[in-house]
Amino acid sequence: MKPISSIAANVQASTTMALDSLYKEMKANGVDVLGFAAGEPDFPTPDHIKYAGIDAIVNNQTTYTPPSGTVTLKKAVCKRMKEDLGLDYTPAQIVCTSGAKHCVYIALRVLINPGDEVVLPAPYWVSYAELIRMVGGVPVSVVAGEAEDFKLTAQRLEAAITPKTKAIILNNPSNPTGMLYSREELTALAEVAVRHDLYIVSDEIYYQLVYDGNEFVSVASLGEEVKKRTLLINGVSKSYAMTGWRLGFIACEANIAKVASNYLSHSTGNPCSISQAAAAAALSGPQETVESMRRAFEERRNYMVQRINAIPGVSCIQPEGAFYVMMNISELIGKTLHGTLIRNADDFGDVFLREGLVCIVPCTGFGIDGFLRWSYATSMENIVKGMDRLEKFLSE
Ligand code: PMP
Ligand code: GLU
């Protein structure tokens, strides 16, 4: 038989998804394992949102909608963007898809020709690199390490640009690092993007999860010139605990939104009509649950960071948003733990899972070695147990 598409054959499974599945399988087999791999809120979807979904079913909102979403949902998106981020968008500039992951795919589909380069600050969320390749683009990873607070600088961005560069992906606050770009840092990056005529794919799905009273600034708010080249990606998964509902959205120039909508009309069609109704309720209804979940995450972050930094051999810097901590294990490289030589983060992740019974994500899949990612989107009880297991694992 002829070979299948080489682009498809080279797609790697998502490390975060693969590890989460492994953890769930171990648990189902009765192993007392703790999972910190998936970045998925442990809270239930708030009741008023669930009931909006139920109402949509009862009221027969169970038919096709326009491919890029209902006007009601698009208006709710515009309202939230205005209230939270000071951004003016019209419904014609909004494209609703089956999750923010799908938004990234559609955004890249619309922007990228085969061979176009996309600058990707590393460590990056594992799906970005694969998605760029899936559309025929070339990911150009630029390391922004712990010494730079895991943040890309304008100089590094500038140095990575070639005549083939089409876009940059920004993720603020970041998965996996939890770091937040300040207004000044974003302004410097945006200036380079404008000067080199680059598109900015800005994934801001964690914007409501920011700690220590820090200000969140959307890159699209830095002026019209920046806004018109930005494809702003957001969704309801993280802030409203709606990961399974699969609803995300892009805000961009209307002509780009139109092309994205054409793509959707031939692929997924509209995102689930019931999820659209629930998401509209999430975005336009009371926002108190967002704040109570944010406070819970902040408390968990404080505890996890303090525990990790008190355990010899590992360390972390304090993240400012999202729900991830990057644990630095560089001191342990070359040492033997529980009979296993630790050559890299993968070795650590493997032996920590087998012997320590804790599942965390090695950051090799995120374009950087020497770190593992903990998600603190899990109960405080689990976090306490996880930290106790780490301490015990490293002291034996
Ligand atoms: N972007 C980032 C940075 C994420 O961490 C996630 C979580 N999977 C997504 C996008 C996708 O979210 P969704 O569930 O809306 O597809
Ligand atoms: N964004 C989450 C994570 O990084 C969910 C898993 C995924 O979609 O990759 O763990």
pLDDT at residue number 38: 86
**Which range has highest mean pLDDT (18-22, 34-38, 171-175)?**
171-175
pLDDT digits (tens, 9 = 90+) for 129-161: 999 999 999 999 999 999 999 999 999 999 999
Ligand 1 pocket member 378 (CB < 6 A): no
CA angle, 105 then 72 then 39, to 5°: 40
Q: CA-CA distances (angstroms) from residue 39 to 19, 103, 178, 208, 378?
A: 11, 18, 11, 15, 9
Task: Kindly report, residue by residue over 241-266, the tens digit of the pLDDT.
Answer: 999 999 999 999 999 999 999 999 99
Q: How far apart are CA 278 and CA 45, in angstroms?
A: 10
Instruction: Judge whether residue 22 has pLDDT over 90.
Output: no
> What confidence score (pLDDT) does residue 14 get?
86
Ligand 2 centroid – CA 319 distance (Å): 17
Task: Report how far ligand 2's centroid is from the alpha carbon of 233 (Å).
Answer: 15
Name which residue sits closest to atom 2 of ligand 2, judged by CA. Answer: 39
Q: In what side-by-side order are the strands of the sheet with 248-251?
A: 94-97, 248-251, 230-235, 199-203, 165-171, 117-122, 138-143
Q: Where are the beta strands (DSSP E) in the chain?
A: 34-35, 94-97, 117-122, 138-143, 165-171, 199-203, 230-235, 248-251, 324-328, 336-337, 340-341, 358-359, 361-362, 371-375
Number of the ligand 1 atom closest to the C-alpha atom of 243:
14
pLDDT > 90? residue 13: no
Q: What is the mean pLDDT of the chain?
A: 96
Tell me: pLDDT of 16 over 90. Answer: no
Give the distance (Å) from ligand 1 centre to CA of residue 179.
Answer: 16
Distances (CA, A) of 88 to 93, 208, 251: 10, 18, 10
Does 275 sit in the ligand 1 pocket, CB within 6 Å? Answer: no
User: What integer pLDDT is reported at residue 196 of this predicted model?
Assistant: 98
What pLDDT is stored for residue 130 in this prediction?
Answer: 96
- In angstroms, what is the span from residue 175 Cα to ligand 2's centroid? 8
The ligand placed nearest to the CA atom of residue 206 is 1
The pLDDT value recorded for residue 216 is: 98
The mean pLDDT value for 226-239 works out to 98
User: Rounded to whole angstroms, how far apart are CA atoms 352 and 356?
Assistant: 5
Q: Is the pLDDT of residue 33 over 90?
A: yes
Contact 158, 194 (CB under 8 A): no
Q: What is the pLDDT of residues 312-344, one digit of tens each?
A: 999 999 999 999 999 999 999 999 999 999 999
Q: What is the pLDDT of residues 43-70, one digit of tens each?
A: 999 999 999 999 999 999 999 999 999 9
Q: What is the mean pLDDT of residues 90-110?
A: 98
Q: Does residue 237's CB lie within 6 angstroms of at least one atom of ligand 1?
A: yes
